[in-house]
Amino acid sequence: MDFQSLPIVGISMSGQLTLHVSQLVSDCCGSRAYDPLNQLCCDLQILIRTQPHSKCCGKELYNEDHQLCCGTVLQGRKVLTKMSGHHRCCGDHQFDQQSHCCCHINEPSNQVNPKPLNASCCAIQEVPHPPPAQTGQHMGIAQNSPNCMPGKKPCGLGACFNPTTERCCVNPTSLQGQSYSHDHTPGHYHSASCGSQVYNPDINICCSEKLSNRVLGKNLCCGTTPYGLEDRGVLCCNQTLHLAVEDGYQCSPGGHLYRPSRDMVCGSRVLVIDPGKHCCGEETYDPQYDICCNGHKHHRLKNVSCCGGKAYDPSSGQMKCCAGTLYNLQVQDKLSEEAQCCGSVLMEAGSTQTCCSAPGLDLLYPTQPGFTCCGHRYPNASLWSCCAGVLHPRPEPHNTTKNVIPGPRLLPLEDLKTEVLCYNEVLLGTVESVSVKMNKRSIVMVNAMYVMVNAMYMLASRANVSALPSPHYVTLPDHCSSPELVPGNTYIWVKIPSSDHISFISDLSDNSSPLYSIFSRCRTLFLARSKALHNV
């Protein structure tokens, strides 16, 4: 799994761990964690951001559009209301740069003060200063680069060469240069570099910066060893040259020799073929009796599925799989239908936590009034607006005292309630392209799963699947409140009964068999309800 898709629930600062704060969207303020989107760290104090573009002025916040932060760190900073757009700081005062300048007064106070433009100190400030001397340090040339005689040029560090009669070779590690006379290598146009050495390709061959004498027919390299295609019993595997190799052998992905007619490669191991067996990590397994989960072999039981490297029964309602991490709901004291995932983390019951999702990234936050998800971020809605997962600063703070209803997020298929899947019309298809018009999002659906159709509706309660014309178009009425969709990914869309509106969206890109998962869940539900009715 990609690292970016893993929810990280703690951040460490100076050895102190802060729980329930992802290090992907937070930073350290001394020994405490803070959210730079909604907070600022000012002189090791965490302050609530009052404007999207608020900045620190000592231990205060200020708005640079209407205020100035004047003073010095030593003498203290203070916030001044900007008198006009032309005013700037001069010490702990402000001045109009159209009528005044800021003068440095050495005696006796060694301070800066605003002065009229006709003051003598203003005229002194207008005298242009000469540029610094072009020393080796300022020209971007290392101090130990040589001062070369006319007609010669620097060759790495500590050497010069004549480009007409000599060749320059630079050691890539030490950057030390070495010049070579063309007399040492016959023919200027036939010389080449091998590491820091110059050689004649007609006489030598360079393999991984190692020179060897050229032998007719040996014009290929395997690591540092030259060899030829016509050599008998020679096989190059992962830059290692094997000699006296019998016919029929090949290289495994790990660089080992094996004979496909006799051997099978499982991971880094070469094993003798056992009829009916398949690879599972470094060992073999029989699919009739075992199940392979991420390289780990388990005994196959009824309704068994994989969750990462573990096997479990999804229909039991006792276990919950969250992005490859398996949770025991009995230990967590949760019901199967109530338990929801946020990436690989099982969320707490109730409304104490909020999961914000973007393609490939799910992050968990403590629920706060007035905050809402925007992709994987959780901003203060009074400072930021959100459109399709993209944050936009509000020109003025938007006063709100109510909980903001978040837009729909991409739910894992396992988090969609079974009743929702089994008693509603469901659209399954792959997004080909997305466009926006009049704040409505138009989506083109194609290439739907393994069924040879391009998009399909299925009434899961009856297990009926019908193909739709290709391409199939879907319109979401509000582009901004809808989650970001990635072209090429496959999604499931649950429609509201007696309406064309979409109520839930789930990304199926990581699910190898979504139709099987849906039908299996619905079958289990119907069997349980039929048994309950039969017992009445």
HEC per residue, 253-322: CCCCEECCCCEEEECCEEEECCCCCEEECCEEECCCCEEEECCEEEECCCCCEEECCEEECHHHCCEEEE
Residues pairing with 374 in the sheet: 377
| Residue-wise pLDDT tens digits, 54-87 | 999 999 999 988 999 998 877 788 999 999 999 9
Counted residue by residue, the chain has a size of: 536
> What pLDDT is stored for residue 26 in this prediction?
85
- Which residues, given as ranges, of the chain have pLDDT below 70? 1-21, 105-110, 123-146, 172-173, 180-190, 334-337, 397-409, 446-467, 496-501, 536
> What pLDDT is stored for residue 499 in this prediction?
64
Tokens 């039908």 belong to 519
Widest Cα–Cα separation across the chain? 106
> What pLDDT is stored for residue 427 in this prediction?
80
Distance from chain centroid for Cα 109: 54
Mode of pairing for the β-strands spanning 440-446 and 425-437? antiparallel
DSSP state of 342: E
DSSP state of 360: T
Distance CA 246, CA 257 (A): 10
- pTM for this entry: 0.64
> What pLDDT is stored for residue 2 in this prediction?
39
Residue type, 306: C
> What pLDDT is stored for residue 70 in this prediction?
92
